[in-house]
Every structure is written in C-alpha cells, then in structure tokens.
Chain A
Amino acid sequence: MATLIEAETPDVLGPAAPKRGAGGVGRYILVRFLLIFPTIFILVTLVFFLMRITGDPITAALGGRLPQDQLDARIHEAGYDRPILVQYFEYLGQIATGNFGTTLSDRRPVVEMLATFGTATLELAINSLVVALLIGIPLGMIAAHRRDRTPDAVLRFFAILCYATPVFFAGLLLKLTFSVALGWFPVSGRASTNTELAMSQLAAPSGIYWLDALRSGNYQALGDIAAHAVLPAVALGLLTAGVFLRLVRTNLIGTLGKDYVEAGRSRGVSEFRLVTKHAYKPALIPIITVMGLQIALMLGGAVLTETTFEWKGLGYQLAQYLTARDFVAVQGIVMLLAVIVAFTNFVVDILAAVIDPRVRY
C-alpha cells in the first residue's frame, strides 16, 4: 500500500537527500550517484549473510543426495568451510571484478544466466508498462475531468480493485476466461516450441522475441509471440495501471484548477485539449517520478506473473533456483535486481531535479 501512498506524495526529497548547503546540479548528481553504491552494497551484504546463516550452498543444494564425505570434499573444494568473513570479502572482490560464479544446480555462469533470463523479464516489463500506460493515463484523465461524479467514483474503485487483485489471481482469471473458455490466447509460455526454436537459431539474437522476429522478418513468429504476450502483459499491466490512474488523476486535478487552464477555457480551447495538453503536460513531472519508483513494484510483480504464465524470465527462474536452494544463482539475481532498482532511483532523482529546480537543495 505504501506504493499507492507514495504515489500521491512523491517523496523526492527522501531523508537521505543531502541537506542544505548550496550546490549546483553537478554536485547533486554526484551525491546521488555515489548513494547508489551504499544501496547496492547493503543489499548484497544483507542477502549474503542471510543466505549463509542457513548453511553453506552445497549442503543446501545437494544435502541428502550425496554421502557426507563427498559433500565435505565439495564444500572444501569450493572453500565454503573457511570463516564466513573471509568468504564475504572474497565474494565482494569477485563481484567487483564482474565474476559472479557458476550456478550450482545447472552449472551455468551466473552472468550468462542473467543475460538470458533478464531479457525475457525486460520484454515482459516493457509489454506490461505499455498496457499500464494505455489503460492508466486516459482513464486517469477521465477521472480527473469528471471529478467527484460517477465516472470518477467508478474509476477510483477500479484503481483500488487493480491494486487489491494479486497478479497471480488476475492471471488465473484471464487464463480461465480467454484461454480456457474462449480459446483466444495460449495458456502459458513466451512462444510456441517452433517459434522458440526459430528464435534460438538466429545469428545475433537480442533475446527480446518480438524484436528478433521483426528483424528476421518472421511474421508468423511475430503473431505467435504477440498472442503469448497479451495475457501476462495485461495481468502485470493492470497492477500498475491502477497506480498510474490515481497518479494522473491526482496531479491533473491539481493543474486543472490553475488559472491558466481557466484562461484557456475562456479563450475557447476545447475541454479535450485542456485536459490532454494544457493541464496534462505540467502534471507530467510528478507522474514520471513516481513511474520510475514503480519499477520495484513491477519487479516483484514480475516474479509472480512469470510463475503464473511459465514465462521463463528472472522471476520464474528465481523461484526455480530458490526451490533448488541454489544460493549462488539467487545471489546473482538479487544482485542484478538491486542494481536495477538503485539505478532507476538515481535516474528518477536526476530527472526530477532537472525538471524541477526546487527539488535540489
């Protein structure tokens, strides 16, 4: 719920913001940039120690399946029997040089694993962001324009409903309706087997299927990919659409009350143009800020969406690795997510500062 509350009062001047003291944009950007590192560092440290409290990764992954002496040998080989602090600093050193290790369950380099599944998650995130914007912005405009009337009440209720419905339940309902009952869309997956095969045979795949299909001119595959993409994108998109709707509504109500909008109205500017141009553009600043902050919500939602639709991305894979107790892989994924979140927050802060000088101190 905090996400929704935050949505209305964007806390761009977070408690960690540098206080007082004059300084230009450059200084502000530098401070913000430097703040990325403690964030990542804290999360990596937290996850490392939390994971290790439960024991070493090898016992966790293979315990019970190998005799104790073989287990001990492998633990010793991997160096997990050394003091935890030694391992921690070694791990930090490895990360700093870009070495994230090899997954325990399927013996893949973590970096390669992240690249493969990360693109799938990126594709899902882009798709659902498009859905969220297409639904959230126009509906938010309608709600703001018809403030406190029936459309506004209905739309506000819809926004809360979007929030209240867990992604996986929305996914289940969509599946039941559109795949099982109506048969319009496939039940799960990113593409059918043929398409996946075609995609994997491309020379330099970007990993984002629709992009690859477009580039190779494979329009049959494109249709297949699109059909697979609809339901997951809608399920995850609806979650964020509610937030966008409220955001646009709140901020538009603010700008619609301004004098220049009234001036525009008296000059005979159409209501449609007033809402979509005059009032909307200045309202865009807080909207962009909060949109950036939604990335964390989306990443959390992606884990559930991907599991619901067997969309083989980072979230789906994270659940698999967690079940297999593959802590090396889990740490890699968490690390990547931490970096993404930290960087998005940085970009959002900078955007907010560049657009609105009052944000800087």
Chain B
Amino acid sequence: MSDTTTAALPPAPRKAPLLDRLPVASHIRQSVGLQRTMLLIGTALTGLFLLAALFAPLIAPFGFAQISDADGTFPAQAAPGGKHLWGTTVGGYDVLSRVLWGSQTAAIVIVVSVAMSLFVGVALGLLSGYFGGWLDRILVVIADAIYAFPSLLLAIVMSIVISRGQSSFWGGILACAFSITVVFVPQYFRVIRAETIRLKAEPFVESAMVVGASSWRIMGRHIFKNATRTLPLIFTLNASEAILTLAGLGFLGFGIEPTSASEWGFDLNKALADASSGIWWTGVFPGVAIVLTVLGLTLVGESMNDLNDPRLRGRRAAGNKRNTSKAGKA
C-alpha cells in the first residue's frame, strides 16, 4: 500500500516495479520478524498446494480411481510402505495419489466459487451502495439473513438443489462451487457496499458527477477501482473457508463421487470406519492435507490483514516499541 502512495508522489511518476505491486510480494517486503515468518510459511504452504494441484497428473503414482495396475488389483487397507507409500483404502485406492489429486479438486472449486462470488457480490454491492433506496434495503436484509445462517447448512441445502445426486466431475465441482458461492456472496456484498457508500461521498466522485459521467461509468471506474483494494485479502481468507466447506460437504456425503474426482472430505468420511480398527493412514493423510492447505492460506491472509492495518503492522527497529505504540494512541 505504501508503494502506491510513493508512486503517486510528484518526483516519482513511474510506478513501482511490478513485483512490489503484487499483493503478496509487496507484503513480504514490508514485513519483519514474526509477521514475516508467518507470511513466508503461509506462502510456502500455499505454493506447495498449488504445485500439487497443478502437477497432480504428473506426480501422483496412480490415478485417483485406479484400483489395479499391471501387477494386479491393489490390496485393500494395505499399510503404508512399498508400492503404496501412504497405504491404500478399503476400496483399494492409493492414498498418496488420492491426496495429490484431491488438491486439484480443491483448487478448482476454490477458483470457480471465489470467482463467481466475487463477480456477483461485487456487482450487487456496487449497485446497492451506489443507488441505495429500497433495492439497498432489500438486498441488505437478504444478505444479512443468509450471512447469519450456518454456512455449511446453507451449502448442504444448495448442493442438494443443484446436484441431486449428480456424480460427474464437473457436475460435482459446480455443485460444490455454487453452494459455496451462495455462502460467500453476502460477505463480498457487505464489504463492497460499505466501501461504495464511503466512496460516494468523496470529492472525486462528486466531481465526476458534476462533469456528467454516467452512473455506470462512476460505478465501474471511479468507485470499483477504489473499493476493491481489500479484495485480495478477502480472497485469501475465503479460499481457506471454501476448502473447509468443500471438505465438510464431502464429509457429509454431498460432495463428489470417488470415481469422478478425489476429494479429501469424502476420503475422511470413509476413514472414520477404519479408525476404530486402528487404521490411521486413510484418514490422517487427507486430513493433514486439509489442515496444511487451510493453514497456508490463512497465514497468508492473516499476515496481509495485519500488514494492511498500520496499528497491527510490526515496525522495523522503530526504537522503543512501547513508546511508539503509545504515541500512536495519544
């Protein structure tokens, strides 16, 4: 953020290098100490997740629904080791392969759902905040009602409506993504609406009105560009929630069929029965995958949140810390 302000100063008309303007990269440069450690760990975990998602077809030793190879059928519930590094499940699936493929499913669902909720939420937020009136009131009441409701339950209801027991890869993915979208739209809506209302009172919007710019132009250019600064942050935070919701849906059996895609939550559900007989590998590996992915995304989001807030940002050797914080308060 400080980069954009320096870029706006008269003596430096050129923009800061691209690397510094990218959300995460600029945050890493700003951060110090513990905050930097957390951000770096988060970035590393997220990077690992994205790499796994991208290269799953190459690194996974077997297919996600593969139960046999040239040597014959895979053993059921085989302990980790040998050909199956992380063991196999009741159905004879290779756990390592399913975890790797699962990252791909998760990544696709995140991208689709967050993109959809961004689009709908931002559009509605701009309209509602800019025009106000009865449209605004109705949208706010609906968004609040949806927001207050347990998101997982809403996602379950949505997934029944959309999928109706559908099991194809894209069918299942879209059902999950839509369900998550419904949950997230109110969040984007709230943020963008609040920003729009704030920005509407700013002089530059007023001057645009005076000049005679159309409402659409003001919304699309002047307000939109200024209101979306916080979006990378919400994006990261929502991505982690999307993974948890997807896993929750899968765990309850409203996710994607095991033969059409690999999904961590579904595998954990199946692992529940194994647990009582002491078979740990079917559940622990997909579970750890969920935890690490959510952890990575959350650490990135949290650190960005702290760094965007000057009160929470750690300062680089700013003398006595207590004094500076007190001066800020007074």
A interface list, Cβ under 8 A from B: 1-2, 4-5, 14-16, 35, 38-39, 42-43, 46-47, 50-51, 53-54, 148, 153, 157, 160-161, 163-166, 168-169, 172-173, 175-176, 179-181, 187, 257, 296-297, 299-300, 303-304, 307-308, 318-319, 322-323, 325, 330, 334, 337-338, 341-342, 345
Contacts and interface: CB of A to CB of B under 8 A. Distances in A.
B247 A166 contact: yes
Interface string B277-298: 1101001100100110011001
A274 B291 CA distance: 36
A165 B286 CA distance: 12
Contact of B149 (A5, A43, A330): A43
Nearest to A39: B145
Contacts of A5: 237, 305
A15 B193 contact: yes
The B contact surface, by secondary structure, is helix
B140 interface: yes
- 8 interchain residue pairs of minimum CB distance: A1-B237, A300-B150, A169-B287, A164-B294, A300-B152, A42-B145, A164-B295, A39-B145
B253 A323 contact: yes
Contacts of A176: 275, 278, 280, 283-284
A175 B275 contact: yes
A345 B146 CA distance: 13
B50 interface: no
Contact of A166 (B194, B248, B272): B248
A250 to B, nearest CB: 9
A300 B34 contact: no
Nearest to B158: A50
Nearest to A160: B298
A334 B161 CA distance: 15
B260 interface: no
19 contacts: A2-B187, A38-B141, A39-B144, A46-B146, A50-B157, A161-B291, A166-B247, A168-B268, A168-B272, A169-B291, A176-B283, A181-B278, A187-B275, A296-B150, A296-B151, A304-B252, A308-B272, A318-B156, A322-B156
Interface in B29-49: 34, 38
Contacts of A51: 157, 160-161
Contact of A15 (B34, B140, B161): B140
B244 A16 contact: no
Which of A2, A46, A322, A345 lies at the interface centre, i.e. has the most chain B CB atoms within 10 A of its CB? A2
Interface string B144-183: 1110111111001110110010000000000000000000
A103 B264 CA distance: 32
Given A163-B298, A257-B325, A342 B148 contact: yes
Contacts of B76: none
Given A54-B164, A334-B153, A337-B150, A168 B299 contact: no
The A contact surface, by secondary structure, is helix
Given A165-B290, A180-B277, A257-B329, 17 more contacts: A42-B142, A47-B157, A161-B291, A164-B240, A164-B290, A172-B283, A176-B278, A176-B280, A176-B283, A187-B275, A304-B252, A319-B253, A322-B156, A323-B253, A325-B160, A337-B149, A337-B150
A210 B247 CA distance: 32
Contact of B190 (A15, A163, A173, A304): A15
Contacts of B248: 166, 168, 300, 304
B268 A334 contact: no
Contact of B34 (A16, A153, A165): A153
Contacts of B316: none
B283 A303 contact: no
A252 to B, nearest CB: 14
Contacts of B244: 166
B190 A1 contact: no
B326 interface: yes
Which of A165, A169, A180, A308 lies at the interface centre, i.e. has the most chain B CB atoms within 10 A of its CB? A169
Interface string B209-253: 000000000000000000000000000011011001001100111
A163 B290 CA distance: 11
A172 B298 contact: no
A300 B156 CA distance: 10
Contacts of B298: 1, 160, 163-164
Contacts of A334: 153, 157
A33 to B, nearest CB: 15
Contacts of A164: 240, 290-291, 294-295, 298
A54 B247 contact: no
Contacts of A165: 287, 290-291, 294
A324 to B, nearest CB: 12
A15 B187 CA distance: 12
B283 A169 contact: yes
Contacts of B265: 166, 168
B252 A166 contact: no
B109 interface: no
Given A50-B157, A54-B161, A337-B150, A160 B141 contact: no
